C-alpha cells in the first residue's frame, strides 16, 4: 500500500479534513496572507453590501493548497450566505449542476474547484447562469424538443484552477475578479501556524518552533497545517506533548521531509533527472513514465516548488536540472549554464 504523501498540497480526507473546518478562518479579518487579493475583495464586498447585490464572479488560480476553497467560505460568510462546493470533474453533464443552481438563494456562493476540467457541454450551460442568472434546459429531443428557461436568484460563482491557461476565453471573460494566488512567505506561515496551534491547544508551540516548521512547508498553508498535525501526534507520543525544535526535526525526519521541505517524491524526481537523463533536458511525460507517476501530479504538485527553489528549469527542449539543484544533490553537471 502506497504511503500518504504528507507534504502534498492536494486535498485529503482523514484527520486533515476533520480538523480543517476548525482551523479554517471564517472571516476576512482572520484570513492571513494574499494581502493584495484581500484588499480587492474587501472593496468589492463592501460595495455590493451597500447596494444589496450579489458579488461579481471570482476566478482564483495558482498552485493547490493556497486557500482558494477557504476564500470561498470566507466570502460566503462575509455575505451572510451559504457556500456550495463542487468540482469540475464532478459535473459530467448539465443536469448535475441544475439541482444546485435552482436551490441557491440570493447572494449564495457556488465554488467550482478544478474549473478548467468542466466538460464543454456544462461550460456552455453555465454561461447564461453567470451573465443573466437563468438556465436554458432542453426537454425531449428531435422535432419535439423545446427549451425551458429557468430563472435563478443572483449568486456568485467562484472558480478555482491550477491551470488557468486551460480555461477557454469565453469562460475566463465572464469573471469580474481574477487573481493569481502566490506562495506564502515564512512570516505569514508562522502566523498561520501559531493561530492553528492555539486552536489545537498546543501550549508549548512557540515562534521559534513555528519558524522551523514554516521553513519546511513549501510556502503552502495546507502543507504547513498537515505537518503541524504530524508534529502534534509525534510530540504527544514521544515527548509527552512538549513541542521543541528537536521534536519538530525528528517528526519531519520520520515523515521524510528534509530541511528545504523536499520529500521522497521530490527527491525521486530530481534523481530521475540525473539518472538516466543526465540532468536533462527531458520531457515531462518521459520523467513521469520513468517514475511510474502521473504527469499532471508532477506538474501541479512537485514542479512548482522545485521551480521556486531554482532547482528545476523549464526550457523549450524540456525539463532540466539547474546548477543549484545539482549542488543540493552533491553532483556536478556538464552543461555550461541554466538559461534556455
Based on the domain organization, do 175 and 117 belong to the same domain? yes
Known catalytic membership, residue 322: no
* Containing structural domain, residue 321: 264-329
- pLDDT of 242 reads 85
Number of domains in the chain: 3
Q: Is residue 13 included in any domain, yes or no?
A: no
Based on the domain organization, do 216 and 318 belong to the same domain? no
Average pLDDT across each block of 10 residues of the chain; the chain has 340 residues. List them in order. Answer: 49 44 82 91 92 91 89 91 90 82 90 91 87 79 73 92 88 92 92 91 85 92 92 89 89 89 89 86 91 86 88 91 85 58
Based on the domain organization, do 43 and 152 belong to the same domain? yes
- pLDDT of 141 reads 67
Based on the domain organization, do 109 and 232 belong to the same domain? no
Q: Is residue 290 included in any domain, yes or no?
A: yes
- pLDDT of 59 reads 95
- pLDDT of 277 reads 86
Based on the domain organization, do 147 and 93 belong to the same domain? yes
Q: Is residue 107 included in any domain, yes or no?
A: yes
Please give the helix or strand (H or E) that residue 150 lies within, else none: strand 146-151
Closest CA to 157 of 250, 249, 91, 206: 91
- pLDDT of 338 reads 47
- pLDDT of 230 reads 92
Known catalytic membership, residue 222: yes
Known catalytic membership, residue 69: yes
Which one from 69, 70, 220, 272 is the annotated catalytic residue?
69
Which one from 107, 222, 230, 232 is the annotated catalytic residue?
222
CATH number at residue 311: 1.10.10.10
Angle at alpha carbon of residue 112, lines to 111 and 117, rounded to 5°: 170
CATH number at residue 208: 1.10.8.60
Known catalytic membership, residue 146: no
Which one from 113, 188, 263, 266 is the annotated catalytic residue?
113
pTM of the model: 0.81
Which one from 70, 156, 162, 272 is the annotated catalytic residue?
162
Known catalytic membership, residue 162: yes
Closest CA to 59 of 132, 135, 164: 164
- pLDDT of 3 reads 44
Extract the C-alpha cell encoding 57. Answer: 464572479
Q: How far apart are CA 181 and CA 331, in angstroms?
A: 34
Based on the domain organization, do 73 and 143 belong to the same domain? yes
Based on the domain organization, do 148 and 74 belong to the same domain? yes
Which one from 68, 107, 174, 230 is the annotated catalytic residue?
68
Q: Is residue 334 included in any domain, yes or no?
A: no
DSSP characters over 39-60: HHHHHHHHHHHHHT-PPPPEEE
Q: Is residue 9 included in any domain, yes or no?
A: no
Amino acid at each position: 500500500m502506497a504511503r500518504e504523501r504528507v507534504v502534498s498540497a492536494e486535498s485529503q480526507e482523514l484527520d486533515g479534513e476533520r480538523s480543517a473546518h476548525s482551523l479554517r478562518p471564517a472571516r476576512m479579518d482572520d484570513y492571513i496572507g494574499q494581502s493584495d487579493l484581500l484588499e480587492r475583495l474587501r472593496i468589492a464586498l463592501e460595495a455590493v453590501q451597500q447596494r444589496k447585490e450579489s458579488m461579481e464572479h471570482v476566478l482564483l488560480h495558482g498552485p493547490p493548497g493556497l486557500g482558494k476553497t477557504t476564500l470561498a467560505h470566507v466570502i460566503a460568510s462575509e455575505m451572510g450566505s451559504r457556500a456550495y462546493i463542487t468540482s469540475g470533474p464532478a459535473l459530467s453533464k448539465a443536469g448535475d449542476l441544475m439541482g444546485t443552481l435552482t436551490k441557491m438563494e440570493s447572494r449564495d456562493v457556488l465554488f467550482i474547484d478544478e474549473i478548467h476540467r468542466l466538460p464543454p457541454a456544462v461550460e456552455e450551460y453555465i454561461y447564461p447562469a453567470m451573465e443573466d442568472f437563468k438556465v436554458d434546459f432542453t426537454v425531449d429531443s428531435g422535432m419535439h424538443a423545446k427549451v425551458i428557461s429557468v430563472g435563478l436568484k443572483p449568486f456568485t460563482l467562484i472558480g478555482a484552477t491550477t491551470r488557468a491557461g486551460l480555461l477557454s476565453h469565453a469562460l475566463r471573460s465572464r469573471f469580474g475578479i481574477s487573481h493569481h494566488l502566490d506562495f506564502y512567505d515564512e512570516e505569514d506561515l508562522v502566523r498561520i501556524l501559531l493561530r492553528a496551534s492555539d486552536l489545537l491547544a498546543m501550549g508549548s508551540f512557540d515562534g521559534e518552533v513555528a519558524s522551523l516548521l514554516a521553513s519546511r512547508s513549501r510556502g503552502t498553508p495546507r502543507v504547513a497545517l498537515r505537518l503541524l498535525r504530524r508534529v502534534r501526534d509525534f510530540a504527544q507520543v514521544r515527548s509527552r506533548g512538549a513541542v521543541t525544535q528537536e521534536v519538530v526535526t525528528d517528526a519531519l525526519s520520520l515523515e521524510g521531509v528534509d530541511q528545504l521541505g523536499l520529500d521522497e517524491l521530490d527527491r525521486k524526481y530530481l534523481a530521475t533527472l540525473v539518472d538516466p537523463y543526465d540532468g536533462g533536458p527531458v520531457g515531462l511525460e518521459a520523467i513521469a513514465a520513468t517514475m511510474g507517476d502521473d504527469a499532471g501530479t508532477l506538474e501541479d504538485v512537485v514542479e512548482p516548488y522545485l521551480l521556486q527553489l531554482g532547482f528545476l528549469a523549464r526550457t523549450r527542449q524540456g525539463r532540466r536540472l539547474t546548477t543549484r539543484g545539482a549542488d543540493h544533490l552533491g553532483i556536478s553537471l556538464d552543461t555550461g549554464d541554466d538559461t534556455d
